[in-house]
Chain A
Amino acid sequence: MKRRQLFAVAAAGLLLAGPFRPAQAEDVVKIPCVCELSGAGAVSGTNYRDGAHIAVDEINAAGGILGRKIVMADMDTQTDPQISRALVQKAIDDGAYAIMGTVYSGSTIVNMMVAQQAGVPQFTGSEAPNITAKGNPYIFRTSSGAQKGVPALTAYFKDQLKVGKIAIAWVNNDFGKGGHDVFVKEMKRVGIDLVADVPSEQGQADFSADVAKIRQSGAQAVFVYLNEEEDARFLKEAKKQGLAVPLVGEVTLTGQKVIDLAGGAAEGAYAHVGLATSAPVPAIEAFVAKFKKRYGRDTDHNGIKGYIGVYAIKYATEMVGKFDRKALAEKLHGLTLDASKYPGMLLTTSWDKTGELSRESFMTEVKGGKQVVIGTVPAN
Chain B
Amino acid sequence: MKRLLLLGLGLVALLVAPLGQGTYVTYLLCSWLTFGIAAMGLNLTLGYAGQISLAQASFMGIGAYVTALLTLAGWPWLAAMPLAVAACFLVGLALGFPALRVQGHFLAFVTLAFNTLFFLVARNEDGLTGGPYGLSGMPRPDFGLLDTAQQPAFYYFTLAVFLAAAVLLWGIVRSPWGRAFKGLRENPIRAESLGLDTRRITLMAFAIGSAYGGLAGALFSPLVQYVEPGSFAFAQSLRILLMVVVGGAGFFFAPMLGAAMVILLPEVLRFTEGYYLMIYAGAVIVLMVVCPEGLIGLGGRLRDRFQAPRPRGDLQEGARP
| Interface residues of A, Cβ cutoff 8 Å to B | 1, 4, 7-8, 11, 14-15, 17-18, 21, 37-38, 74-76, 78, 81-82, 85-87, 89-90, 92-94, 106, 109-110, 113, 128, 130, 172-174, 176-177
Contacts and interface: CB of A to CB of B under 8 A. Distances in A.
A174 B228 contact: yes
B294 to A, nearest CB: 14
Contacts of A18: 268-271
B31 A172 contact: no
B231 interface: yes
A7 to B, nearest CB: 7
B225 interface: yes
Nearest to B220: A82
Contact of A81 (B27, B131, B226, B302): B226
B133 interface: yes
Contact of A14 (B228, B267, B269, B273): B269
Interface string B219-254: 000001110101100000000000000000000000
A93 B224 contact: no
A81 B132 CA distance: 13
Nearest to A74: B273
A24 B218 CA distance: 40
Contact of A93 (B23, B134, B268, B290): B23
Nearest to A1: B305
Contact of B230 (A74, A78, A81): A81
Contacts of B136: 109-110, 113
B283 interface: yes
A7 B279 CA distance: 13
Contacts of B228: 81, 106, 174
Contacts of A37: 274
B277 interface: yes
Contacts of B9: none
B17 interface: no
A38 B273 CA distance: 12
Contact of A109 (B226, B273, B283): B226
A113 B24 CA distance: 14
B99 interface: no
B22 A90 contact: yes
A18 B24 CA distance: 14
Contact of B132 (A14, A74, A113, A173): A173
B24 A93 contact: yes
B132 A174 contact: yes
Nearest to A17: B271
Contacts of A74: 273
Interface in B255-281: 265, 267-271, 273-274, 276-277, 279
A109 B22 contact: no
B271 A21 contact: yes
Contacts of A78: 277
A78 B277 CA distance: 9
Contacts of B24: 86-87, 89-90, 92-93
A4 B132 contact: no
A38 B278 CA distance: 11
B8 interface: no
Nearest to B26: A89
Contact of B224 (A82, A87, A94): A82
B231 A81 contact: yes
A177 B132 contact: yes
A14 B268 contact: yes
B137 interface: yes
A93 B230 contact: no
Contacts of A14: 268-269, 279
B226 A86 contact: no
Interface in B112-158: 123-124, 131-134, 136-137
Contacts of B23: 89, 92-93
A110 B226 contact: yes
B132 A89 contact: no
Contacts of A86: 24, 27-28, 31, 267
8 contacts: A17-B271, A76-B277, A81-B231, A86-B27, A89-B24, A94-B22, A106-B228, A174-B228
Contacts of B267: 86
